[in-house]
Amino acid sequence: MTSDTSPPPRRFRPLRRLGALAQLAAIALVGVGILTTAATLVGTGIGLALVLGIGIVLMIGALYIAWAAAWLEHERAEGLYGHGIPRLQLRTSGEPGFRGFLRTLWLQFTDGAMWRGIGSFAIATVLGWIVIGAASAVITGVALAVSPLGDGTGGRLPLVGIPVADSGAVAGGIIAAIASLGILFGVSLLDDLLTRSILVPSREAVLAEAARTAGAQRAGAVRASEVERTRIERDLHDGVQPRLVSVGMTLGMAQQKIDSDPVAAKALIDEAHTSTKAAITELRQLARGIHASVLDDRGLDAALSALAARSHVPVALDIRLDERCSATSEAAVYFVIAESLTNAAKHARATEVRVVVRSRGDAASGRLIWGRVEDNGIGGARVLPGGGLDGIMNRVLAAGGTATLDSPVGGPTALEVTVPCAS
């Protein structure tokens, strides 16, 4: 049996060219306005930078208008040509507070993919006006070619503006129309070539980004494991271990009294039994904090429902998941929500927590799990080295995701997490 390795049919290529021309014409109509607005905001912002910070706000607005234009260009080029252009994402530092916001702005400003998208968008705007002019020339050429059929007395050739008499109108109109069609075809080819050259990252850039991401994930995994190990050691040392030592001492005292004072010995044994059950409960909770078996057996939806049922604070769950994801991804989201519920009960003095989890993305761009936990507590949560939030932030990073904490003093506290479905 032989396999068919022939390339896919190209019967839809003319439609793609027509689509490219239509899109370029549309971009020409809006691109000038977008680019002019962004440039005006930057120029005005520089002039007003020292006036109550108004100029800074304008420049931030220009940055995100430029990002929107770059995003539009990425989506247009990938949807039209399918070059494998990575989807443009808003970059974020993941750090809370004003310092984190400033770092986010800097990361966005230095995003090379965004600037390449802006450059491609500007070129597409210029090409769009050429398309509009060439399309107008085609119509003019056809009208000139058929003018002798009426009462026409000639006219001017489109593109060059040379006057022609009635006798040369047919040939001149046909030539002009064909030349204009050639320009349109050439523009569509040029747009394909330029978007591929500008927007598709080089192999070296892809490898460098993959290495950077892998390094960040590895560092996050190492940090998360260190925080988790420290937490387990602390919980064992401060909780279970003293209780078990107390059980041993109580049983020793009961052994000494069992012959001389059976009643007191029985009371001590009852006390040891109660302490043993409490130690078992603590060990079960500690084990659940390390690994949630229901997560493997029944999935994230059931695990979060069980988690909400055990919460000391009322939890409103809103979970809509289309499919199961990898164990690493589900565990990352689960422990983010678990830590948030713990903090809401222990530190935030919250009376209500809302948890929303959704499936996002698609097979082409990559499936994602997005979650948000918001409480009505007093706020002021911070990511401290070695703390619970530090551990879950690094767990999310190790899974290839991002987490953002927003917790102003006075509340509310909101924690958002986005994790790739297959990580």
246-269 pLDDT, tens digit per residue, is 778 888 888 887 878 888 878 888
Would you state the pLDDT for residue 121? 92
Q: Over 70: is that where the pLDDT of 12 sits?
A: no
Q: Over 80: is that where the pLDDT of 398 sits?
A: no
Q: Six-digit token pair at 134?
A: 């060439």
Would you state the pLDDT for residue 346? 80
Q: Which residue has the higher pLDDT, 180 or 7?
A: 180
One-letter amino acid at 21 equals: L
Q: What's the start-to-end Cα distance of the chain, in Å? A: 37
The band of 59, judged by pLDDT with boundaries at 50, 70 and 90, is: confident
Task: Compute the Cα dihedral for 353, 409, 61, 76 and give only its sign.
Answer: negative
Q: Is the pTM of this model over 0.75?
A: no
Would you state the pLDDT for residue 5? 40
CA–CA distance, 151 with 203 (Å, rounded to integer) = 62
CA–CA distance, 393 with 404 (Å, rounded to integer) = 9
List pLDDT tens digits, range 97-113. Answer: 677 778 888 888 888 88
Q: Hunting for tokens 């064992």 — which residue is that?
A: 236
